[in-house]
Chains A and B, each alone.
Chain A
């Protein structure tokens, strides 16, 4: 499922790779150093990849649609991995410094690929919850739901004079409503939360009379709503937090590359 605007970039990327691979081979044939060709290409690619972050800060000026930048970023990222292998000629270099550089490069690549995959997969799951909630508002939404649940619990206790629901809330449900739960299940598309609500969450229902059941069902309904919000939290959180790895690692790789470039120029060329 390749988006149409990515296609030209894929063609361009393949062409670039073919050109660089061919040229580095020619240089190698002439006993030049093909690593210079591939290395500088890789460095330029890294800079261009890094510029995507800059682009996001420059929304106020027309510097190309971000979607084009992303398409470029994805293709150039894959190209960079290929270029990296072309450059090192191996999966794993020998020098300690290069090993650190390679390890970070691989981490950036892996986080990037991971990010791309979740960004393609998770929005669908969020849409299918049927609700839409802004990430920053999730704590407030949970707080609101918790307030409502606690209000219902109090009201139930006052109206019926029985604290069964309240006891259940304190003993069991509170854990669920306190904060987002079952994050991993939400991310992988499981229904652990629903299962929990139907199981331990509903355990007290058989001890309730009809009035209490009315309140209790409202609470469970709010629990179901919270499950959907939890799903939003889990997925949106992951869609944001992978960047906590990707971006700092990227800047590290770029800085290490600069030093690498400097050393190569001073020591080996």
Chain B
């Protein structure tokens, strides 16, 4: 078989040149200056391969709040509604458990699993051909009684030309709202690679995306924060108008991180410095930031902040409450761990719209500084190793683990006879974070996948790889800062390595833990550990100041 090339698996298989032509005639597309695009990725190519036209009927749900998605939508015609509050009930959203294997289907793996490592049935690749990047289903869920929903829920209207989903697609955060079609609508779905190209090469789109963000998603985002949840529409708008967007760190932070690990040194971009005067509260939109304080001749990590956390609120609030006190400098520093999206809410806005109506912040990060250094050595280590990114890290208690490899065998038994993690990894005290996919909050592995084979499971938010569309380019494996994706040379049933007939080089596939997607009973490794030594850990549970402001 031939090695797939970039765009050989277009996002929409039915996109025709005609479609591209007519798209280019749309005013919002026509405004894009095609000349700014490099030769290897022309605008038409982006439209041709990174977008697809999808149609929704009235009531169809387009995106669901809490879903992970990696594409943005441009409304071509029709109108959509974004549900602001209250949330739609889960059953209306049509949420259900992804089709899991039945008991006997799962049991059948006992004899269907291969004794030869990494066996693939190549006919599957041929018969499936090269499908579009994401593994999206064509089935839709629709709302039966749209007027009732409109009656009972506060909604905002999205009309022709509206772009949505770009924040989720670019920031790799879950969808913040549910959007459904109010009447029949046609949407242009742009996968995040395409969106990235458009935002990268077109200044208009960059502004537009930011603007759209400010107009549409920002308020909902602000409303999610405790600070702004009580504001009325008018005040919220006032706040939204004044909020500033900032990004710190490189988009490909993992590369810098790996380099830093090898060289042993590296500077994290400082977002706010201890001792400086804050001019506003910093809200983390995406990514992770380290909260630190000077300790001896170094910086002591107190905690880290993830999406939704904010920084500097305590200091600003006390300064507002006690205007006589001159000391309002920041007690801690904030630095970017990789790529961080920040919303800076200026102090005057807060003083006008927020502080008079809010309860005083209960705890501050400074509270943590009172504990001995040894107590948060674990935190320091987790931040240093960027394990804070993990939502499902495999942590093994080495004082319980008898090294029996039951977890590895269990993993193999649920993955066609092949383990999907390696029972080694970085250790701290008696904890070992094994080389198993952590299903990161900020999954850098998904950056750069040319076909979108690596994606988030819509149902579970786990990061999974579609073996069929994986082209074995190893981009994800190399991106993963934790070395948790492994490339394997695939074999046929006879155990012979499958090679590309043109080059004689073996065909590789990226493999990793899929958190036993589709297997009944959750991750087999946890179930298989006889000593309860192995756990899948969300690192925020180790964070003592998760709720700290």
Whether, in the assembled complex, B520 has its beta carbon less than 8 Å from a beta carbon of chain A, the answer is yes
Residue from A58, A61, A67 with most neighbouring chain B CB atoms (10 Å) = A61
* B107 engages A59 (CB within 8 Å): no
Whether, in the assembled complex, A123 has its beta carbon less than 8 Å from a beta carbon of chain B, the answer is yes
Least CB distance from B526 to A in Å reads 8
In the docked arrangement, what's the CA distance between A82 and B527, Å? 29
* B430 engages A66 (CB within 8 Å): no
* A67 engages B532 (CB within 8 Å): yes
In the docked arrangement, what's the CA distance between A236 and B423, Å? 14
How many B residues, CB 8 Å from partner? 36
Identify which of A26-34, A126-134, A177-185 touches chain B: A126-134
Least CB distance from A233 to B in Å reads 11
Least CB distance from B404 to A in Å reads 7
In the docked arrangement, what's the CA distance between A127 and B397, Å? 9
Q: A57-B110, A132-B427 are in contact. Are A123 and B532 (CB under 8 A)?
A: no
* B398 engages A69 (CB within 8 Å): no
Which of B109, B398, B529 is close to A127, meaning CB atoms less than 8 Å apart?
B398
In the docked arrangement, what's the CA distance between A185 and B533, Å? 26
In the docked arrangement, what's the CA distance between A65 and B529, Å? 7
Whether, in the assembled complex, B319 has its beta carbon less than 8 Å from a beta carbon of chain A, the answer is no
Least CB distance from B302 to A in Å reads 27
* B398 engages A132 (CB within 8 Å): yes
Our count of residue pairs bridging A and B at CB distance below 8 angstroms stands at 84
* B521 engages A61 (CB within 8 Å): yes
Which of B401, B522, B528 is close to A66, meaning CB atoms less than 8 Å apart?
B528
* A3 engages B402 (CB within 8 Å): no
* B529 engages A67 (CB within 8 Å): yes
Whether, in the assembled complex, B154 has its beta carbon less than 8 Å from a beta carbon of chain A, the answer is no
In the docked arrangement, what's the CA distance between A61 and B524, Å? 8
Q: What B residues does A66 contact at CB under 8 A?
A: 406, 527-530
Whether, in the assembled complex, A5 has its beta carbon less than 8 Å from a beta carbon of chain B, the answer is yes
Whether, in the assembled complex, B196 has its beta carbon less than 8 Å from a beta carbon of chain A, the answer is no
Whether, in the assembled complex, A124 has its beta carbon less than 8 Å from a beta carbon of chain B, the answer is yes
How many A residues, CB 8 Å from partner? 28
Which of A61, A69, A239 is close to B103, meaning CB atoms less than 8 Å apart?
A61
Q: What A residues does B524 contact at CB under 8 A?
A: 59-60
Which of B406, B427, B533 is close to A59, meaning CB atoms less than 8 Å apart?
B406
Q: What B residues does A69 contact at CB under 8 A?
A: 530
Whether, in the assembled complex, A35 has its beta carbon less than 8 Å from a beta carbon of chain B, the answer is no
* B403 engages A126 (CB within 8 Å): yes
Nearest B residue to A125 via CB reads B399
Least CB distance from A198 to B in Å reads 27
Q: What B residues does A67 contact at CB under 8 A?
A: 529-532
* Selected A-B contacts with CB under 8 Å, 23 pairs: A3-B532, A5-B532, A59-B406, A59-B409, A59-B410, A59-B413, A59-B524, A59-B527, A60-B110, A62-B520, A65-B526, A65-B529, A67-B529, A119-B402, A123-B399, A123-B401, A124-B399, A127-B430, A132-B398, A132-B424, A135-B403, A135-B405, A240-B404
Q: Contacts A3-B532, A59-B414, A60-B410 known; list 17 others, CB within 8 Å.
A: A56-B406, A57-B110, A59-B527, A60-B110, A61-B521, A62-B522, A66-B528, A67-B529, A67-B531, A69-B530, A70-B530, A119-B402, A123-B401, A123-B402, A123-B533, A134-B403, A134-B424
Q: Which residues of A contact B (CB under 8 A)?
A: 3, 5, 56-62, 64-67, 69-70, 119, 122-124, 126-127, 132-135, 236, 239-240
